[in-house]
Amino acid sequence: MNKNFEIRYLKRAIYILNKIYELSGYDAYLVGGAVRDFLLNRSTSDFDVAINVESVDVFKDRFFRNEFKFLRYEKSYKAFKFIDKKTGLKFEFTPMRKEFYGKGNKPKIVFTDRPEIDYKRRDFTINALYMDRNGTILDFSNGISDLYNDKLRFIGDAEKRIHEDPKRIIRAIKFSESLNLKFDKETYNAIDKYFYLVKNINKEYRFKNFKKFILNQNPIFFNLICKEGLVYKNFYLSKIQDREQLIRNFLEKNYIKFEILVTALIIKMEITKMEVFLDFIGFTNKEILKIKSLVNFYISSEDFLDILVKILGKYGIDTLYDLYDVLNFIRFVWGLSDEESEKIDKLAKIIHNIERGLIPTSINEVDINGEDLMKIGFKGAQIGEILNELFEATLFGEKNENEHLINLAEISYKEIRR
């Protein structure tokens, strides 16, 4: 989007500020991301507006009822969110306030009509820029200077701000990445010191953001989890950072599920505290079990054919596809040993034959049953064992036909009887 497009939206936003003043007699201010993005000439479709709490009644006026579509009301902060029907822009109107933090992370609030008080509750100086109804920018914390000097800095004491809300650590990493900003010394030291607090943030929020950091190979995030003891620094540097472009190239050209990527990273970084690491990222228990299984299948010294039979019998063909994707990703980025190359070739052949309908995908699809085997003479546990053997045989070329499988079973029975 070009700057003219932005200015057109900005004019609409300033018109709304003036309309609030006209209807209520109270000033309102654009604040945060919209002002920051305007200064950076970045496109935006969300506008946060700081208002006087006494002006909330303006939203009952015909102007707002006609030109805005109501989205939601946040009762605790008396905040309204609308979509502007004319432009499609999202506007969130929030009364200015002062916040007081106690033991919990939810602050007590006192409303104010002064932006020079409201700004102190905001997290970073670059997000505490206000624009009034005349288009004048108010900067109470040198945010403009920080923005133009590529600096990310907390408002107030960095350690205190993190303790108030540990999500600010994640927000700091996000802004650093998206805006290409560097932490000032106090901010970096506080994040480094209290990074462990992010484990207290709900899993959904962690997972949503950590997933992006991992996909983008965010160096700040990886260095922090190394210091947290979740990943060995040397393995990260040699196995991930040195292969950054190869990983990026693969992800740009191929779709793989996120858990496949993480499985490969666990294998190559030799992460031993697997469950702790996956829980920290925010995976569910079900997803953790799946990734652990894939890692164990990969590193197992068991006969690979037995592993594939086990996967098909217990987990199904989707897990077979997942294991192939893990091997294929590792082959592209790090290369495979001769043994691993043989494994992926076998796996590819089996998947190909399954897709063509040439071989069964489970023991239940093998064209022989327990009754057939009992007629031959098999009993008890022998039946399960010979079924597994016949299933395995079909994976590598034996016909899945009843008469043929009975012949194979009879041969096996004669060998047992000797």
Per-residue pLDDT of 86-112, as tens digits, reads 999 999 999 999 988 876 667 888 999
Give, in order, the Cα–Cα distances in Å from 98 to each of 21, 90, 121: 22, 24, 6
- Percent of the chain with pLDDT strictly greater than 90: 67
Q: Tell which residue, 44, 92, 52, has the closest CA to residue 68.
A: 92
Q: Is pLDDT of 202 > 60?
A: yes
Distant-in-sequence, close-in-space partners of 142: CB < 8 Å, separation ≥ 6: 125
pLDDT > 80? residue 228: yes
Residue 82 pLDDT greater than 90, yes or no: yes
- The whole-angstrom separation of Cα 186 and Cα 244 is 29
Return the amino acid letter for 340: E
- Residue 107 is given by DSSP the state P
- C-alpha distances (whole Å) from 36 to each of 19, 59, 281 are 23, 26, 30
Q: Residues 26-75: pLDDT tens digits?
A: 999 999 999 999 999 888 889 999 999 888 888 888 999 899 999 998 88
Beta pairing partners, 51: 95
pLDDT at res. 78: 87
Q: Is the pLDDT confidence value at 5 over 60?
A: no
Examine the pLDDT at 123 and tell me if it is beyond 60.
yes
Q: Are the CB atoms for 285 and 311 separated by under 8 Å?
A: no
Return the pLDDT at 278: 97
**Adjacent-strand bridge partners of 80:** 73, 93
Per-chain mean pLDDT for the chain: 91
Among the listed residues 335, 359, 334, 333, the one whose alpha carbon sits nearest the alpha carbon of residue 346: 359
Measuring CA to CA, which residue among 186, 309, 332, 167 is closest to residue 245? Answer: 332
Mean pLDDT of 161-166: 93
Q: What is the pLDDT of residue 3?
A: 52
Degrees to nearest 5, angle at CA 67 with 62 and 69: 105
Q: Indicate if the pLDDT at residue 418 is higher than 90.
A: no
The structure's pTM equals 0.86
Length of the chain: 418
Taking alpha carbons only, the member of 27, 54, 55, 33 closest to residue 45 is 33
How sure is the predictor about 4, in pLDDT bands with cuts at 50, 70 and 90?
A: very low
Q: Is the pLDDT of residue 1 over 60?
A: no
User: How much is the pLDDT for 55?
Assistant: 84
Q: Give the pLDDT of residue 60.
A: 86
CA distance 280 to 201: 10
Under the banding of pLDDT at 50, 70 and 90, the label for residue 2 is very low
d(CA 346, CA 336): 14
Instruction: Enumerate the β-bridge partners of residue 79.
Output: 74
366-395 burial: b if 16+ Cβ within 10 Å, else e: bbbeeeebeebebeeebbeebbbebbbbbb
pLDDT at residue 300 is higher than 50: yes
**H or E segment at 165?**
none
Does pLDDT of 162 surpass 70? yes
